[in-house]
Amino acid sequence: MFLPSIKAPALLKCRGRVVPAVLVLGMFGLSCQSEVQAPSGRDASRSGAFVSGLHPPEGPHGPYFGLIPTDSPELLLPGFVSSHMGEYNGTFSPDGRSFFYTVHPGDKGHVAYTTMDAEGNWSTPAIAPFSTAATEYDPLFAPVGHSPSGERLYFCSEQALSPEDSMPQTRIWYAERDGGRWSPAQVLEGLQGGAYFPSSTTDGRIFYNRWQEGKIFEAVPSDSGYRSKALPECINSRGNVGDPFVAPDASYLIFRAYYPDGEGRGDLYISYADGDRWSNPQNLGALINSASEEWCPAVSPDGRLFVFASRRLLVPYAESDLKAMRQQAKTENNGRFNVYVVSTSFIERLRASAVWE
């Protein structure tokens, strides 16, 4: 549902055209009512039914949803991806034809996805086929070359490792897709429990954070699994940090930090690599970081789109009108996390002012 009190409708760019988000929503609303072709069988609810024949040029069509990057953040596809339930952790597959993210309607996260068919139409979002009843979140695709057996998707799950595991910890799991089919999820051996937000490089390194310590770690593959080390103090010592997205070639790291100089309650920062050194973190600035809270950075595999989550309000609540507040709470503009996209042009712009201690 789109917030009716918005005076200047939010804009989306799809397939080179700028259109009001409310128009996109109206089109999706019609398609969901009448022409969703659901697959048969017991897995129908988890396979992502395709909306056929109702994707006009303004709708999501083609790789990466057909999005044209802009220098101002845009809410990602209201009513299709973004909703009143709260979404974060958006990640595109290496070919740009699948999109996975976390949906968090209550006190539990679920990994959801949508995928593109041969005609460029995207399936109705559904729960991932390898998902379990446990709380799950933080899906991130590995870059091409990271896994020789096919596309690999890392995610975090609180599922138990055995029936005797009465207090399961969050651990990193992964599933692989080969020939269009996903393998059952497997736990990533060699990392201790309590690991979150696994981002990886082409040479097999994994960056992650541990909430208990408020630090980011780098895990290097070894004969015995992984050897983890904390990132330098310039990143880890100034405040609680996490959600590390590392470039495939490890040339930069974008992460969430609760530093004292932030724009809001949690901001996104970038640090660049120079050999084994990391530059002093730079705030991504007020255009991306708001007075609210930003999380879960990721860069699309083609390097054009920066995907992140924010709790910003596009229109403030009318706090003197309870009825209006209740109506707004049912929309994506309700203060819960939603997924935003923006151009990656800031990455090279900020590199020019990077400072190493």
Whats the size of the chain, residue-wise?
Answer: 357
pLDDT digits (tens, 9 = 90+) for 4-21: 333 333 334 443 334 334
In the predicted structure, residue 89 carries a pLDDT above the cut 50: yes
Domain count, the chain: 1
- 117, 116, 91: which is closest to 102 by C-alpha? 91
Which residues, 6+ apart, have CB-to-CB distance to 105 below 8 Å? 85, 86
- 155, 98, 145: which is closest to 126 by C-alpha? 98
Query: What SS3 class is residue 46?
Result: helix
3 in a domain, yes or no?
A: no
264 in a domain, yes or no?
A: yes
5 in a domain, yes or no?
A: no
Question: Token digits for 68?
Answer: 């044209």
CB 48 within 8 A of CB 103: no
189 in a domain, yes or no?
A: yes
Question: Token digits for 104?
Answer: 């968090």
pLDDT digits (tens, 9 = 90+) for 268-300: 999 999 988 999 999 999 999 999 999 999 999
- 75-84: average pLDDT: 93
In the predicted structure, residue 41 carries a pLDDT above the cut 90: no
CB 132 within 8 A of CB 147: no
6 in a domain, yes or no?
A: no
Question: In this predicted model, which residue has the larger pLDDT, 30 or 192?
Answer: 192
Distance (Å, rounded) from C-alpha 61 to C-alpha 201? Answer: 29
Distance (Å, rounded) from C-alpha 115 to C-alpha 94? Answer: 12
Q: What distance, in Å, lies between the first and last C-alpha atoms of the chain?
A: 49
106 in a domain, yes or no?
A: yes
pLDDT for the residue 343: 97
Domain holding 298, by residue range, is 11-351
**Which H or E run contains 121?**
none
| Most confident by average pLDDT, 24-28, 93-97, 188-192 | 93-97
4 in a domain, yes or no?
A: no
Q: Residue 286 sits in a domain of what CATH number?
A: 2.120.10.30
pLDDT for the residue 45: 33
20 in a domain, yes or no?
A: yes
Residue with tokens 């959801």: 112
- 309, 310, 307, 304: which is closest to 348 by C-alpha? 304
